[in-house]
Structure 1
Amino acid sequence: MMPDPSMSAWEPEIRPRQTVWQRLDHGARRLLPSLFIALIIIFFSAPLNIPGAAELLPALVIATVFFWSFWRPTGMSGVAVFLLGLFMDLVGFTPLGVSAFILLLVHGVAFYSRFGLMRLNFLLVWGVFALVAAAACLLQWGLACLFRLSMLDIAPALFEALLTIGVYPPLSALFSWILHRLDEKEDI
């Protein structure tokens, strides 16, 4: 914003004050991706006997973290990703910090590569996500092997990687629609 030439250098710029409801609305929009992930973790960790819930949970979380870290990093901060990863570890009875570490890596790759990838079409972004998702699933498998001190079957990790890659397009379409709605709301 350009300074007003009629104002002197020592006069502070006056910004319009936001009401409490505007602040709450803005905060809720920023927390929406994190709340979505927290609800997904709770839903898929509940004993509802959903077939494939154990494989679908990391797929949904990784895809969500990647999308929001890529397109709206203010809605998916590193602190939120870390806390959601710890929550996922606690609920899923995995070693504490494994999911947080993997999700922070996904967040970092999406966040730092976003300016180079924003100009690309969806298929190329999906290809980059596929590489990130496969690396995340293989890293999770490698850490599980390390913690158990034995080689585990790699087939579940490959299935989880393919599931994560396959779940990204529909989630991306849903989140793009939500992002468009949020942007419309901010313009008003």
Structure 2
Amino acid sequence: MSDGPDMKELEKRMDGAIASLKTEYAGLRSGRATVNLLDPVMVNAYGSEMPLNQCGTVGVPDPRTLSVQVWDKGLVGAVEKAIRDSGLDLNPVTDGQTVRIPMPSMTEERRKDLAKMTGKYAEAAKVAIRNVRRDGMEEAKKAEGVSEDDQKKMSDDVQKLTDRKVKEVDDMHEAKEKEIMQV
């Protein structure tokens, strides 16, 4: 016997989509150096792909520079290559076991491209949230031994949760876009 959608479970799944969006946004450049900028970078090390932060310590010595203190001397070249090939428009410089990454100032065109990217990421998060809503609505319809009024209330609750989470995504998107377009 089903007693309707588990709202806590639905909210947890929607929060997962939002957490994923936060991770995507952390990797987008906004003109300032942040350690999260290099999170999506994967290094070809020891015969497999591994995240950069598992090969060395990422730091921010000043607002326009990132540094990676590589733990294994043999991986310095691989780390430098991974950063260069990451598509982040970064040009690393090796200094012993430290890879320094100066942050170039962003052009207006690059800012607009990144702003478009934020929109794509936000839309993907909204689609994920809507898929969770669809599951919740189906559970509400399948609820057994529940009056039509209660089914309607369950559906309304799922929709309110969805609206709240979509607004959260919209707010995050707006803030990130504003951050990127700021000169």
**TM-score, length of structure 2 as denominator length:** 0.30
More helix by share: 1
**TM-score, length of structure 1 as denominator length:** 0.30
Greater RCO between the two (CA within 8 Å, min separation 6)?
A: 2
Which structure has the greater CA radius of gyration? 2
More strand by share: 2
